[in-house]
């Protein structure tokens, strides 16, 4: 089983410059040892079980909560048989883009 979760943690009421607090959440994800990727809008993490991945999300939210009393969480998830889908899904799209460019 592969569980992919893309999530965004936003401190509420902390002003416009929240990058330092968001970095705390990303540190938690990276320390988990699970495959992950952060982009401008979301951090995606991949694990073998729901509990494993959602535990990381919970800890990431807690890291932001430690510095801000209100936190917003947006989450999108995908569960499917297999492993390594964090990279495989992107590779599939890139392959189709390359085929269409020919």
pTM score over 0.85: yes
Q: What is the pLDDT of residues 35-89, one digit of tens each?
A: 999 999 999 999 999 999 999 999 999 999 999 999 999 999 999 998 888 888 8
CB 71 within 8 A of CB 9: yes
pLDDT at position 102: 63
Contact 9, 62 (CB under 8 A): no
pLDDT at 85: 85
Q: What is the CATH number of domain 2-100?
A: 3.30.70.930
Round to whole Å and give the CA distance between 19 and 49.
Answer: 29
pLDDT tens, 21-41? 999 999 999 999 999 999 999
Q: What percent of the chain has pLDDT over 90?
A: 77
């Amino acid at each position: 089983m592969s569980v992919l979760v893309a999530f965004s943690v936003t401190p509420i009421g902390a002003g416009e410059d929240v990058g330092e607090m968001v970095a705390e959440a990303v540190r938690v994800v990276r320390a988990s040892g699970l495959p992950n990727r952060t982009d401008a809008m979301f951090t995606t993490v991949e694990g073998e079980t729901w509990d494993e991945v959602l535990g990381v999300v919970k800890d990431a939210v807690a890291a932001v909560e430690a510095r801000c009393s209100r936190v917003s969480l947006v989450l999108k998830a995908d569960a499917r048989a297999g492993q390594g889908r964090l990279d495989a899904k992107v590779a599939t799209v890139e392959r189709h883009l390359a085929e269409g460019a020919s």
